[in-house]
Amino acid sequence: MKKDILQALQTVSPIPLEEHMLERPAHAKLGDFALPCFPFAKVLRKSPVAIAEEIAASINHPLIQKAEAVNGYVNLFMNREVIADTLLQTILQQSTTYGTSNEGNDGVVTIDLSSPNIAKPFSMGHLRSTVIGNSIALLLEKIGYKPVKINYIGDWGTQFGKLLTAYRIWGNEADVRQAPIETLLKLYIRFHKEAETDPSLNDEGRAAFKALEDGDSDALALWNWFKTESLKEFQRIYDLLGVTFDSYNGEAYYNDKMEPVVEELLSKGLLVESDGAMVVELQEGMPPCLIKKSDGATLYATRDLAAAIDRKNNYDFVKSIYVVGNEQSLHFTQVKQVLGKMGHNWSNDIQHVPFGLILQGGKKMSTRKGKIVLLENVLKEAIELAQKNIKEKNPTLANQSEVADAVGVGAILFSDLKQHRKHDIEFNLESMLQVEGETGPYVQYANARAHSILRKVSDVDSFNVNEVNDYEWETIKLLEQFPHAVKRAADELDPSIIAKYAIDLAQAFNSFYGNVQVLTDQANLPYRSALIESVTIVLSESLRLLGMKAPEEM
Ligand code: ARG
């Protein structure tokens, strides 16, 4: 709509116009768009008032109903009826493909997301990565990319030597079977505590990891078991969230794929010794990237290098993104620079998509000290609360437990996704579960309400738009913006744009429905049903892009 208006203005403007010059006035009575003429006064040697009058008098376009010159502004009023008619036809016809494009040209984008560490609890940080990454995948798919979701499980590294050692000294099978992650975490914490007074434990841990790397069968069997049990626990969370992955190739998968990378670094003369360790020197001001420790053990960065190359070979991505917390920024800058120095120019297509911390009482949550909130409990609590709400407000509802899942989980997802991902967020279960205000359940309710209205009217085959009132117009303008919101969210890898959009649309719809007698006005019913159906299409699609469900009844 904005583009059309700009074009129309261009034909009568004495000066070339740019999109940013066209404003959207805060008050509807000042029109839908306004062009301030002050910037042109100097060049044209005319008063802005005169320029505005000339433009207003000469503009003529089927989408513009009226142009008014007011104090140096051209205020434009759109032809609401024509716009509503075309837009609603389009949305009803395109349905869920409204806003879809093929901008991405089927290019593959690998998305590294979730990536929890085995034998440790699934943290709130992993939750952020999972839900932000999943929504980014859906957004990219919507604009024509082929996302590949990779869950890069943290299942390798010296810490597993420590865990094996701890289990052998203090652990027992029954406890692990009964509560795998809780037990393994306790063992890990105990290891660190006891190693403070008994440093020989650290040597034992190192030796155990070495054995694991070399394929010792006892070590491998234990490690495998820890991994299987951990993945079972993670899977329960993914099932609740409704998230799936295309690959679970984690760090261990790269155990035998690091040596070729180290060789390549060597042959290209990039590896240098530093305090017995092997490193790659980087640009000024950057700490060197550690590739091998003095005992020969590989590191997190070594595995990420192997993984990045493997992903390029496997998927030939146009873009490779990593949805990982802010605190790993340095790591990804280093990995990217090392790949660049190796001569892989596709390293420019690698992008770290960072997000903020989840704080508790203003501080970072820490697993080491054992002060963690178990995510599964948070999700279950949210679902129970939703269940309770249904029992009170809609006791005869069908599929109650399905709806409670959708609403409970949706509340958690939305409270995260509505914030810009770079913000730190304070963990607060109560505010996460709130239904009033700018929340996921609020959007879901608006959609369900729209569906319940539609159930009361018969299907519309055709409609006429006689007149569009202000409430309807607010809703229609938002519906028109959906494709732009999708594009912006996908381009900026920012789901919060869609979350905020969904809130705006839900609010506009609620205020329309609260102020207009829809069901009793027979003459306008077909048009208004078309409008309400369009709202359900766009709200459901917005929720889907956030990874949420959109129940038709709640
Ligand atoms: N497992 C890591 C952690 O929990 C995150 C891995 C992120 N992905 C990567 N390719 N490094 O901190």
CATH number at residue 435: 1.10.730.10
pLDDT of 490 above 80: yes
| Claim to verify: residue 351 and residue 311 sit in the same structural domain | yes
| Claim to verify: residue 341 and residue 387 sit in the same structural domain | no
Average pLDDT over residues 386-410: 94
Report yes or no on 8 lying in a domain.
yes
- Please say which residue of 39, 60, 78 terminates a domain: 78
Sign, CA dihedral 240-245-249-250, equals: negative
pLDDT digits (tens, 9 = 90+) for 300-315: 999 999 999 999 999 9
3-class SS of residue 65: strand
The Cβ of residue 372 has, within 10 Å, a number of other Cβ atoms equal to: 17
245 compared with 426, residue with greater pLDDT: 245
pLDDT of 433 above 80: no
Tell me if 116 sits within 8 A of 154, measured CB to CB: yes
pLDDT of 402 above 80: yes
Pocket test for ligand 1, best of 152, 312, 372 (most atoms within 8 A of CB): 152
Return the CATH number at 234.
Answer: 3.40.50.620
Cα atoms in the 13 Å half-sphere on the side-chain side of 147 = 23
Q: How far is the CA of 116 from the centre of ligand 1 (A)?
A: 7
| Claim to verify: residue 307 and residue 390 sit in the same structural domain | no
| Claim to verify: residue 262 and residue 178 sit in the same structural domain | yes
Q: What percent of the chain has pLDDT over 90?
A: 84
Report yes or no on 88 lying in a domain.
no
Report yes or no on 84 lying in a domain.
no
Amino acid 83 reads: I
Task: Please tell me the predicted confidence (pLDDT) of residue 372.
Answer: 56
Q: Which atom of ligand 1 is nearest to the CA of 331?
A: 11
| Claim to verify: residue 225 and residue 124 sit in the same structural domain | yes
Average pLDDT over residues 416-438: 84
| Claim to verify: residue 37 and residue 162 sit in the same structural domain | no
The complex scores an ipTM of 0.99
Task: Please tell me the predicted confidence (pLDDT) of residue 373.
Answer: 63
Encoding tokens for residue 361? Answer: 């009482």
Q: How far is the CA of 333 from the centre of ligand 1 (A)?
A: 14
Torsion, Cα 119 124 128 130, to 10 degrees, reads 30
- Name the least confident of 169-173, 192-196, 283-287, 432-436: 432-436
Q: Which atom of ligand 1 is nearest to the CA of 120?
A: 4
* Strand 319-323 to 277-280 pairing: unpaired
The Cβ of residue 444 has, within 10 Å, a number of other Cβ atoms equal to: 28
pLDDT digits (tens, 9 = 90+) for 240-293: 999 999 999 999 999 999 999 999 999 999 999 999 999 999 988 999 999 999
Task: Please tell me the predicted confidence (pLDDT) of residue 328.
Answer: 96
Question: At 370, is the pLDDT very low, low, confident or very high (cuts 50, 70, 90)?
Answer: very low
Distance CA 53, CA 77 (A): 15
Average predicted confidence (pLDDT) for the chain: 93
Q: In what helix (H) or strand (E) does residue 476 lie, and over which residues does it extend?
A: helix 470-491
pLDDT of 371 above 70: no
Q: How far is the CA of 517 from the centre of ligand 1 (A)?
A: 54
pLDDT of 551 above 80: yes
Domain that holds residue 304: 108-364
Q: Of 36, 92, 100, 97, whose CA–CA distance to 69 is shortest? A: 36
Q: How far is the CA of 24 from the centre of ligand 1 (A)?
A: 43
Task: Please tell me the predicted confidence (pLDDT) of residue 362.
Answer: 77
| Claim to verify: residue 438 and residue 524 sit in the same structural domain | yes
Distance CA 543, CA 96 (A): 12
Query: Which residue stretches of 59-199 are H helix?
Result: 80-94, 124-142, 158-170, 173-178, 180-197
Contacting residues for 437 by C-beta, under 8 A, at least 6 apart? none
Neighbour-count burial of 509, counting CB atoms closer than 10 A to its CB (0-12 exposed, 13-18 middle, 19+ buried): buried
Tell me if 394 sits within 8 A of 554, measured CB to CB: yes
Q: Domain total for the chain?
A: 3
Average pLDDT over residues 403-423: 94
Report yes or no on 152 lying in a domain.
yes
- Please say which residue of 78, 97, 128 terminates a domain: 78
Query: Which residues are registered as beta bridge partners of 453?
Result: none
Q: How far is the CA of 156 from the centre of ligand 1 (A)?
A: 11
Pocket test for ligand 1, best of 312, 328, 365 (most atoms within 8 A of CB): 328
Residues with CB under 6 A from ligand 1: 112, 115, 117, 152, 154, 304, 322, 324
3-class SS of residue 150: strand
* Strand 271-274 to 64-70 pairing: unpaired
Q: How far is the CA of 152 from the centre of ligand 1 (A)?
A: 7
pLDDT digits (tens, 9 = 90+) for 77-117: 999 999 999 999 999 999 999 999 999 999 999 999 999 99
The Cβ of residue 553 has, within 10 Å, a number of other Cβ atoms equal to: 13
Task: Please tell me the predicted confidence (pLDDT) of residue 363.
Answer: 77
| Claim to verify: residue 68 and residue 120 sit in the same structural domain | no
| Claim to verify: residue 120 and residue 246 sit in the same structural domain | yes
pLDDT digits (tens, 9 = 90+) for 323-355: 999 999 999 999 999 999 999 999 999 999 999
Sign, CA dihedral 302-304-310-312, equals: negative
291-314 CB burial, b ≥16 within 10 A, e <16:
bbbeeebbbbbbbbbbbbbebbee
Question: At 435, is the pLDDT very low, low, confident or very high (cuts 50, 70, 90)?
Answer: confident
